[in-house]
Structure 1
């Protein structure tokens, strides 16, 4: 498959042109024209690039790519080494940020919710059809401690739990760095909110607005969208796709 055709397929399936994002979505670094072997991962770090080179991949597909808003434009140091490795080995780099967070089937939110036994019902921001945060329900109310144990079993990572000793049924979710949505979730009467990261003020918001908060890890909560997208490409377009998890404790 041609690299530009693959980009068109991904753009169309993820509706990437509908998003105003913090980075470019799509083909970020152009490599060889023909793509058959793809390595997927969460972040286009040097370790993932090195693994892709070892696997003789034609392309890398990630959630966190390059060229973020407000980052330095100069190509030096770490950025030079990453780009040099991709260009030397003629490897394409595709990245999808917000489009991969919110896709109703393959997205990070949808995939994590599925693993946690949640049924998603609507966006947390009802005025935005592409709300980054979602609202869902568990099959039945459970304690915060039981839900924390469920998260740990799924992610193989103990979440930081700010508890208010309440039953958990209606849950907000935003993978990655979504802690800023906690107040909105509390205002809508949700029992809990799940995200990846936590800030100092998140603790006080959770306590004072009486909503449980689960910080389950940015990397850990965003492993599943790119895996699902890669599996979709393999099934629908007969591409050779391999997910590689570069461990990240954050």
Structure 2
């Protein structure tokens, strides 16, 4: 497959023009014009790039790429090393941030729901379906402590939990990654629990004072699934050789 065909397909499938994001979505570093093997992963860190080199990949497809709004623009240090490795080995970097969070079937949020057996009932923001995050119901009611164990088992990472262990959880809202502030959507709608990747100091007080349970299951752990699903889709659609590489991150 040609690189320009791959980029065009992904940009269309993920509807990148509908998002105002913190980074460029799509092709961020141009490599070989011919694509046969793709490495997918969460973040384009040096370890993932090295894995792509070892696998003789033509492209890397990730959720977290480069050139974030507000970061230093100079290509020095870690940024220089990463980009130099990509260019030396003619490896393209494709990254999709909010478009991959929001995709209706391949996105991080809907894929996390599948992993955790959540039934999706709607968007997290009832007034804006373009806001990342979803609301839904558990497959069956659990105590908050049982949900804690369920999340840990399915994600292979025990979450942080704020709330009473014996409370019954039936409804839940979630947004993968670092979306602590989106808890307010759950509070406003009277939802039993909210799940995201990270926790901050205000989240603890908001959970305690609202009675809405808060689960922080890891930024990386909640966002493993979108890039993996997107890569599997490309393999099925175009017969490409695609390998998901999980570079573990405790955050």
When the two structures are superposed, what TM-score results if normalisation uses the length of structure 1?
0.98
Paired with 1:198 and 1:186, the residues of 2 have a C-alpha distance of 16
What residue number does 1:238 align with? 239
**Mapped contact 1:176–1:196 kept (Cα < 8 A):** yes
Instruction: State the aligned residue count.
Output: 250
What residue number does 2:179 align with? 178
Paired with 2:55 and 2:137, the residues of 1 have a C-alpha distance of 41
Q: Which runs of 5+ in 1 are unaligned?
A: none
Paired with 1:161 and 1:52, the residues of 2 have a C-alpha distance of 36
Deviates further, 88-97 or 112-121: 112-121
Q: Which runs of 5+ in 2 are unaligned?
A: none
State the Cα deviation string for residues 113-135 of structure 1 (Å, max 9, x = none).
11111111111112212121210
SS in 1 for 2:171: strand
What residue number does 1:10 align with? 10
SS in 1 for 2:186: helix
Query: Aligned Cα RMSD in Å?
Result: 0.8
* TM-fit CA distance, 1:157: 0.5
Paired with 1:15 and 1:216, the residues of 2 have a C-alpha distance of 28
* TM-fit CA distance, 1:139: 2.2
Paired with 1:187 and 1:129, the residues of 2 have a C-alpha distance of 16
When the two structures are superposed, what TM-score results if normalisation uses the length of structure 2?
0.98
What residue number does 1:32 align with? 32
What residue number does 1:80 align with? 80
Mapping of residues 1-250 of structure 1, within 5 Å: 1-164=1-164, 165-250=166-251
Paired with 2:69 and 2:223, the residues of 1 have a C-alpha distance of 20
Divergent runs of 4+, >2 A = none
* TM-fit CA distance, 1:8: 0.7
State the Cα deviation string for residues 33-91 of structure 1 (Å, max 9, x = none).
00010000000000000110010000000000000000000010000000100001100
Paired with 1:67 and 1:45, the residues of 2 have a C-alpha distance of 13
**Mapped contact 1:166–1:191 kept (Cα < 8 A):** no
